Amino acid sequence: MKEKLVLIGNGMAGMRTIEELLKLSPDHYDITVFGEEPYGNYNRILLSPVLCGEKNIDEIMLNDDAWYDDNHVKLEKGKKITGIDRKACMVQTDDDETMEYDRLLIATGSTPFIIPVPGHDKEGVIAFRDIADVDLMIDASKQYHHAVVIGGGLLGLEAANGLMLQGMKVTVVHLMDTLMERQLDYDAGQMLQSSLEERGLKFLMATSTEKILGDERVTGIKFKDGQEISADIVVMAVGIRPNIELAKKVGIHCERGIVVNDTMQTFDPKVYAVGECVQHRGETYGLVAPLFEQAKICANHLAKLGYARYKGSVTSTKLKVTGIDLFSSGDFTGTESSDVLSLKDPAKGIYKKIIIENNIIKGAVLYGDTVDGTWYFQMMKDQADVSDIRGQLLFGQAHIGDSGHGASNQAALMADDAEVCGCNGVCKKDITDAIVEKKLFTLEDVRAHTKASSSCGSCTGLVEQILAFQLGGDYSATPKEKPVCGCTEMTHDDVRQAIREKPFTHVMEIINQLDWKTKDGCPACRPALNYYLISTHPDEAQDDYQSRFINERVHANIQKDGTYSVIPRMWGGKVTPGELHAIADIAEKYQVADMKVTGGQRIDLLGLKKEQLPDVWKDLSDAGMVAGHAYAKGMRTVKTCVGSEWCRFGTQASMSLGVLLEKMTWASWTPHKFKLAVSGCPRNCAEATIKDIGVVCVDSGYELHVGGNGGIKVRVTDFLCKVETEDDVLEYTAAFLQLYREQARYLERTAPWIERVGLTYIKDEMVENAKNRQALHKRFLNSQKYVQIDPWAERGKNKVDQHEFEPISVI
């Protein structure tokens, strides 16, 4: 017998929980859903575009009747639950039907607050909450002319805008002197008001209602200052209250909302609650992003996995009035100890304000130019240290050393046929269509359906903006810390911590003991786990080659036609005639299809068949060459210039220093690839300032630069420090590498890592703190002991992993 799960409230949070639950554990429960509204679950957020006439009801349905049938979820539409017998574990409907449950989920949402002024119950006085309200408003707009919206918050303004677009004359009455005062400061509020006035809305600010006039139906409003205006319809949008009526009645502990713990459980352990009706750690939420997070956590517990915890959410707001760009998040007033950065250009209609406390963004208000909203929001959620980029912060992400493709990130202004994802050739329209037609909510969804942002990832920000723009609400926003992948709720940092604490030795052990949802993990988590394992316990961990991508598994780069390329190491870019002879001989012997000098100062042999690899490697090994690791998330190359050995400007011996660096660091596995360069003088012919570590020699020593990147997003290095001797260069390089190896997340290159943790942090850890630097250096050298064994010689001469290179049989 399956257990019975009953959901009260067929809305966004409750149904999201069911969807998440079905993903985790499709067969655990018999599920019944009671919904007071006579529809399937729809996207309440999009009621505003429906009111504006931009969308119709069918387009905003999330789960239609067929969905419930297909997923064997029983939907009781138009049925309100009026009682719960918690002893007998039974719910009761308004028409006296009963239903038993083993687990109950309450997701009754909110009720709009109606100000109890005289006349509030007259016909024509409505709220803005559900389809029925929107139907009433659209009907009214066909017969009448004058609408009054009480409340100048998000909802009120969206209602007013919609009614205006339906042809009504609309006045917005607001108690305060600023619109959306919970999200906007005075300046932004004023700018918003004037652009709405230009569109034809009227405002009565700092005005409170005394009475609603009329007989049966409303005809006007009287205000406390004596003023009267006529009104055929009054929309009250002054706030919402968690809908806790039912829960309270049956004795479930409530304060402002139904009180739940971090597992979304109420005080009755059989009863869970999610959504706007819930109060968690003293907070209630009225936006979907946090509710969807709650849904995920709740599903995890309903599925009896039992490890996820909800820790509260940071939210951000966008007004869904087409043509008005407004973004607000967090604390936008600040306290005595906070700094305010602001920029105001009234002629262009731009206003930006960022609140910073202890170098961390606490809040942001953007008006007119909201392109960077998601960026600020992400940094705010990450609590990123912004001291190093403070000067450029207001000008936006495009101004932070990012001269790459990021410059074109005006999602809203992009033409439909503009290419968003260069790797997969996905245009903006492909994405917007998929969002609408396939009802996508998240970045993951868009990736899966359109492939956009699923390859190199450089367009991720843009895709997120398109999502936010298309959906209005910021519910695409990624939660503060993302899980490693769909197999777990644990974040990269959680997993790392667990690996540090427990002596795991194999990827599968981690997957089993940390309760992965999938049996064997997936191609996203397994390589990450394997890396964390071998970098944390280099001595004990077993390197699991089945958890490595093909290139690392066979130590060569797979090519589009299934052949492989082989790039031997040329230490510091130096090469001898003997080595060149050997390479040439090998190229002839194996009839290499193509040879090429790579961007990393060495030679690529292309088009080799897999079966040939061990022989090629044996020959290279005999000639004294080792793997170049051009295939690895690991140390790649050290690029050098000719330096003081030859160059008339050279200040130090950059070639030989490059060789020393490469001999020390080769074969190291890192979270993402890692490249070095040494230039002999500030002319910087080795392009050291776009490398993960770049050494620029100067007369008095060596400048160390870190966090450069020449690839998808060009980023110039940050200056770390200057040192005096070659030994210092080696020690600092090893320490930096080790810090990166121990702390960055898998597939995070040094550039984004530094932007996340801040240069100051890195300086504190390894420049200021000499002891720690030496310890890092030591740990690095120790781990190198286990890996500096040439994988090519192993396979070419010592017959390791031969099964990779031979067919099992020929038939």
Partner 1 sequence: MEDWIEIGALDEIPKLGARVVKSNNGNIAVFRTSDDEVFALRDECPHKKGQLSQGIVHGKKVACPLHNWNIALETGLVVAPDEGCAASYPTKIENEKVFISLTQK
- Footprint of ligand FAD (CB under 6 A): 8-14, 34-37, 44-45, 47-48, 80-81, 107-109, 128-129, 155, 158, 243, 246, 275-276, 286-289, 291, 320, 472-473, 475
Max CA separation in the chain (angstroms): 103
Residue 679, interface with ligand SRM (CB under 6 A)?
Answer: no
CB atoms within 10 A of CB 189: 22
* Residue 673 contact, options ligand SRM, partner 1, ligand FAD, none, Cβ 5-8 Å cut-off depending on partner type: ligand SRM
Q: Spell out where 324-474 has E strands.
A: 326-330, 339-345, 350-357, 360-367, 419-421, 426-427
Choose between 456 and 698: whose C-beta lies nearer to ligand SRM.
Answer: 456
Among 358, 513, 559, 782, binds ligand SRM (CB under 6 A): 559
Site map 572..611 versus ligand SRM, x via CB under 6 A: ------------------------x-xxx-x-x-------
DSSP-derived 3-state class of residue 346: coil
**Count of residues making up the chain:** 811
- End-to-end, the C-alpha distance of the chain in Å comes to 50
To the nearest whole angstrom, how small is the minimum distance from the Cβ of residue 675 to ligand SRM?
5
To the nearest whole angstrom, how small is the minimum distance from the Cβ of residue 437 to ligand SRM?
31
CB atoms within 10 A of CB 309: 12
Q: Rounded CA gap, 537 and 553, in Å?
A: 20
Size of the site for ligand SRM (CB under 6 A): 23
* Residue 508 contact, options ligand FAD, ligand SRM, partner 1, none, Cβ 5-8 Å cut-off depending on partner type: partner 1
Residue 565, interface with ligand SRM (CB under 6 A)?
Answer: yes
Which pair of tokens denotes residue 145?
Answer: 């002319």
* Residue 709 contact, options ligand SRM, partner 1, ligand FAD, none, Cβ 5-8 Å cut-off depending on partner type: ligand SRM
To the nearest whole angstrom, how small is the minimum distance from the Cβ of residue 548 to partner 1?
8
To the nearest whole angstrom, how small is the minimum distance from the Cβ of residue 602 to ligand FAD?
52
Choose between 265 and 424: whose C-beta lies nearer to partner 1.
Answer: 424
Strand partners, 254: 258
* Residue 523 contact, options ligand FAD, partner 1, ligand SRM, none, Cβ 5-8 Å cut-off depending on partner type: partner 1
Q: Rounded CA gap, 639 and 394, in Å?
A: 36
Question: Within positions 496 to 515, which residues make up the interface with partner 1, using CB under 8 A?
Answer: 508
**How large is the C-alpha radius of gyration of the chain?**
31
Inter-residue contact 613 to 556 (CB < 8 Å)? yes
Residue 606, interface with partner 1 (CB under 8 A)?
Answer: no
Query: How far is the CA of 612 from the CAs of 456, 690, 717, in angstroms?
Result: 30, 35, 40
Among 548, 673, 777, 779, binds ligand SRM (CB under 6 A): 673
* Residue 710 contact, options partner 1, ligand SRM, ligand FAD, none, Cβ 5-8 Å cut-off depending on partner type: ligand SRM
DSSP-derived 3-state class of residue 333: coil
Q: Rounded CA gap, 14 and 6, in Å?
A: 10
Q: Rounded CA gap, 74 and 768, in Å?
A: 63
To the nearest whole angstrom, how small is the minimum distance from the Cβ of residue 304 to partner 1?
20
Residue 453, interface with ligand SRM (CB under 6 A)?
Answer: no
Piece in contact with partner 1 (CB under 8 A), picked from 226-234, 557-565, 736-744, 750-758: 557-565
Inter-residue contact 548 to 527 (CB < 8 Å)? yes
Q: Rounded CA gap, 698 and 665, in Å?
A: 23
Q: Rounded CA gap, 136 and 234, in Å?
A: 11
Piece in contact with partner 1 (CB under 8 A), picked from 492-500, 534-542, 621-629, 802-810: 802-810
Choose between 318 and 715: whose C-beta lies nearer to ligand SRM.
Answer: 715
Q: Rounded CA gap, 31 and 496, in Å?
A: 37
To the nearest whole angstrom, how small is the minimum distance from the Cβ of residue 465 to ligand SRM?
20
To the nearest whole angstrom, how small is the minimum distance from the Cβ of residue 535 to partner 1?
20
Residue 517, interface with partner 1 (CB under 8 A)?
Answer: no
Among 518, 576, 725, 760, binds partner 1 (CB under 8 A): 518
Exposed, middle or buried, 407 (CB in 10 Å: 0-12/13-18/19+)? Answer: exposed
Among 104, 354, 567, 641, binds ligand SRM (CB under 6 A): 567
Of 106, 42, 133, the C-alpha closest to 242 is 106
Residue 550, interface with partner 1 (CB under 8 A)?
Answer: yes
Question: Within positions 398 to 457, which residues make up the interface with partner 1, using CB under 8 A?
Answer: 448-449, 454-455
To the nearest whole angstrom, how small is the minimum distance from the Cβ of residue 274 to ligand FAD?
7
List b or e across 717-740, with b for residues whose CB sees 16 or more CB atoms inside 10 angstroms.
Answer: bbebeebeebeebbbbbbbbbbbb
Return the residue matching tokens 């149904």. Answer: 15
Site map 698..727 versus ligand SRM, x via CB under 6 A: -----------xxxx---------------
Q: Rounded CA gap, 419 and 409, in Å?
A: 11
Read off the amino acid at residue 88: A
Residue 447, interface with ligand SRM (CB under 6 A)?
Answer: no
Residue 23, interface with partner 1 (CB under 8 A)?
Answer: no
To the nearest whole angstrom, how small is the minimum distance from the Cβ of residue 602 to ligand SRM?
5
Inter-residue contact 714 to 407 (CB < 8 Å)? no
Helix axes 613-622, 577-589, angle to 10 degrees: 160
Per-residue three-class SS string for 588-602: HHCCCCEEEECCCCC
Residue 548, interface with ligand SRM (CB under 6 A)?
Answer: no
Q: Which residues here bind partner 1, judged by CB under 8 A?
A: 448-449, 454-455, 508, 518-523, 526-527, 545-547, 549-550, 553-554, 558, 560-562, 803, 807-811
Q: Which residues here bind ligand SRM, judged by CB under 6 A?
A: 456, 557, 559, 565, 567, 596, 598-600, 602, 604, 628, 630, 636-637, 673, 675, 690, 709-712, 749
